[in-house]
Amino acid sequence: MAIVIDASIAASWCFEDEQATASDRVLNDLPRVGGAIPALFWHEIRNVLIVNERRARIDPSDSARFLMRLRNLRLHHDDDHDEESVMGLARSHTLSAYDAAYLECALRRGDILATLDRSLATAAIAEGVSVIH
């Protein structure tokens, strides 16, 4: 069973003031169990980095190093998705379509979901998905 990683977990690896026990645990477990990400993951991470560059928390070289670090984790890119499931999960749990995509990925694959997002964690638990949060 792999770990589906959402952007909140990955972003916490970039910013020391946002690190959490859950994100450290995920980073330590990845080499052993493997990780998976839906296609939208990279867009969300790039957006987090751009926003934080604009806020002068990081510079472009920090962003480049962080993206390289993420790529070196060898996360499985899960390009499959069930559109009806994503939409249904978003509706039934009042999630964004982005968050519902992470939940759908974990549900479909039978994986654990790692997130720092409370709403997403609550929805995952309600759906019977194991959560690291």
What pLDDT does 35 receive? 97
What pLDDT does 15 receive? 87
Angle between helices 83-93 and 118-126 (to 10 degrees): 110
Global confidence as pTM: 0.94
Domain range annotation of the chain: 3-132
Topology (CATH level 3) of domain 3-132: Rossmann fold (3.40.50)
What pLDDT does 49 receive? 98
Residue 41 has which token pair?
A: 């993951």
What pLDDT does 116 receive? 96
The series of mean pLDDT values per 10 residues for the chain, 133 residues long, is: 97 83 93 96 98 97 97 93 97 98 98 98 99 96
- Amino acid symbol at 100: A
What pLDDT does 82 receive? 92
CA distance 90 to 86: 6
